[in-house]
Amino acid sequence: MEMKAAVLYEANKPLAIETVELDDPKDGEVLVRIAAAGVCYSDYHVMKGEWSMPKPVVLGHEGAGIVEKVGAGVTRLSPGDHVILNFRANCGHCDHCIVGRPVLCDGIEAGRVFMFDGTVRLHRNGQDIHHMTRTACFAEYAVVPESGAVPIRSDMPLDKACLIGCSVMTGLGAVTNTARIEAGSDVAVIGCGGVGLNTIQGALLAGADRIIAVDLLDNKLEYAKEFGATDLINAGNGDAVARVRELTKGGVDYAFEVIGNPKTIIQAYEMCRIGGTTVIVGMAPENDIIEINALSLPRTERAIVGSWYGSARPWVDLPKLTDLYMRGRLKIDPMISRTWRLDEINEAYQTLAAGDVARSVILFD
Ligand code: APR
Ligand code: ZN
């Protein structure tokens, strides 16, 4: 079939909105009609050349839609199912999948811009086009592996559901799945964008006491307050580390870095009290290094842990987060500062880069 997609041919060049061909789903794959896709920073890392990825490529990993067609052997999905895309589609039988850590799945040999069989379904004029994270949802339709489309209740609005697919799961899961904070913990969150706001709301849901939000932009700190932050620090006005230590008498129990910057990762570590845990959620440019005083680790028993996709178990967590939203316990609506059409996507990314939005969403219907 033919459809409209946003294609990245080269880093630091605008995405091209053009008509591409999409093959039918093969064995174990499904075709999803995309309803909405979130404008997340991770795609921007690729656009800026901070993460390498084969090109041309259709980006987009925060999507929701409706299953249109299923390939042979698909048993868990049927046409008409409403789904959230899971950007860590997994094999289901490697050690990591078996022990319940599907985000770490290493059972598929093909790179994550190909379907499991190592080929692509996207083409244009005889040229193959890659699928970012096997989701490629900056397009009217996407072919994804069965495990990459998680069914949800059909009364969930899809423009909100798409954000559960990355920012909500990543931010909130860092608190509830990765760190599993205790009620009453003091928490700091550096970076209050689409992902960080969900770390804040995760901390609130998990019963944190102080939730200290740190950002460089006052508009982001206002969002942070709306999502549950108890204290706001603009890191542009003075020493954020000293301020956090002062507010908490020596540091927080958990510090979350949700930017992906070596400097703020070290700040997060320094904001932690003795025995505290620093959780790295933000994804840095691929060659960045952090330097931390080696002796400080044993002497203070501070832990540094990575959190990828909120340590998600997507087939359990994405429907659960959907239920939380439908029950009115999870905020998503205030994240959506504005919406766009697919052909406005380059402008949407300029707006993200300028820090003007909490999150924005591309609508297809
Ligand atoms: N100090 C404090 N805040 C900062 C700093 C800094 N030095 N630099 C940037 N920020 C803030 C921005 O103002 C913005 O509010 O970090 C926030 C980042 O938010 P977004 O741009 O919305 O990015 P988001 O989509 O939330 O992703 C954050 O998580 O999943 C990863 O790849 C993703 O690395 C990215 C990170
Ligand atoms: Zn994302």
Q: Is 82 a catalytic residue?
A: no
Residue 343's pLDDT is what? 98
Preceding amide of 56 cis, omega within 30:
yes
pLDDT per position as a tens digit, 166-197 = 999 999 999 999 999 999 999 999 999 999 99
**Cα(201) to centroid of ligand 1, in Å?**
16
Q: Parallel, antiparallel, or unpaired: how do β-strands 149-152 and 82-85 relate? A: antiparallel
Measured distance CA(333)–CA(293) in Å, rounded: 42
Catalytic pick among 61, 82, 130, 131: 61
Q: What is the CB neighbour count within 10 angstroms for residue 357?
A: 20
Q: Which residue has the tokens 């003007």?
A: 356
Which atom of ligand 1 is least distant from the CA of 220? 15
Contact 82, 33 (CB under 8 A): no
Residue 249's pLDDT is what? 87
Banded pLDDT at 205 (limits 50, 70, 90): very high
Catalytic pick among 45, 82, 130, 131: 45
Task: List the alpha helices (DSSP H) in 93-239.
Answer: 95-98, 158-163, 169-173, 194-205, 218-226
C-alpha torsion angle, residues 18, 19, 25, 30 (rounded to 10):
60
Domain formed by 2-152+332-363, architecture: Alpha-Beta Complex (3.90)
**Cα(171) to centroid of ligand 2, in Å?**
10
Atom 11 of ligand 1, residue of closest alpha carbon: 191
Angle at the Cα of 69 (from 67 to 71), degrees rounded to 5?
Answer: 120
Domain formed by 171-308, architecture: 3-Layer(aba) Sandwich (3.40)
pLDDT per position as a tens digit, 255-275 = 999 999 999 999 999 999 999
Task: For a ligand 1 pocket test, name from 39, 162, 190, 259 the mutation site with the most ligand atoms within 8 angstroms of its C-beta.
Answer: 259
Percentage of the chain modeled with pLDDT above 70:
100
Q: Is 94 a catalytic residue?
A: no
Residue 48's pLDDT is what? 96
Atom 2 of ligand 1, residue of closest alpha carbon: 215
Catalytic pick among 97, 137, 162, 166: 166
Read off φ and ψ for residue 275, nearest 5 degrees: 80, 0
Helices 194-205 and 218-226 cross at an angle (nearest 10°) of 30
Say which ligand is closest to the CA of 133: 2
Q: Is the pTM of this model over 0.85?
A: yes
Mean pLDDT of 68-94: 98
Atom 31 of ligand 1, residue of closest alpha carbon: 282
Q: Is 52 a catalytic residue?
A: no
Residues with CB under 6 A from ligand 1: 40-42, 45, 170, 190-196, 214-217, 220, 235, 258-261, 264, 281-283, 352, 355
Segments making up each domain of the chain, as ranges:
2-152+332-363, 171-308
Mean pLDDT of 198-217: 98
Q: Is 192 a catalytic residue?
A: no
Residue 306 DSSP SS3: strand
Which atom of ligand 1 is least distant from the CA of 191? 16
Residue 72's pLDDT is what? 98
**Cα(341) to centroid of ligand 1, in Å?**
23
Q: What is the CB neighbour count within 10 angstroms for residue 113?
A: 19
Measured distance CA(176)–CA(219) in Å, rounded: 26
Instruction: List beta partners, residue 63.
Output: 37
Q: How many helices (H) and strands (E) does the chain have?
A: 11, 18
**Cα(15) to centroid of ligand 2, in Å?**
18
pLDDT per position as a tens digit, 8-56 = 999 999 999 999 999 999 999 999 999 999 999 999 999 999 999 999 9
Read off φ and ψ for residue 237, nearest 5 degrees: -110, 75
Angle at the Cα of 361 (from 281 to 286), degrees rounded to 5?
Answer: 35
Q: Is 147 a catalytic residue?
A: no
Say which ligand is closest to the CA of 224: 1
Residue 76's pLDDT is what? 98
> Of 118, 105, 123, 131, which is closest to residue 53 (Cα–Cα)?
131
> Of 43, 39, 101, which is closest to residue 308 (Cα–Cα)?
101
Q: What is the CB neighbour count within 10 angstroms for residue 55?
A: 15
Query: What is the DSSP code (8-state) at residue 308?
Result: S
Residue 365's pLDDT is what? 79
pLDDT per position as a tens digit, 54-66 = 999 999 999 999 9
Residue 195's pLDDT is what? 96
Measured distance CA(327)–CA(184) in Å, rounded: 24
Q: Comparing 2-152+332-363 with 171-308, is the CATH topology the same?
A: no
Structure tokens at 184: 């009453």
> Of 175, 168, 198, 173, which is closest to residue 85 (Cα–Cα)?
168
Q: Parallel, antiparallel, or unpaired: how do β-strands 187-190 and 252-257 relate? A: parallel
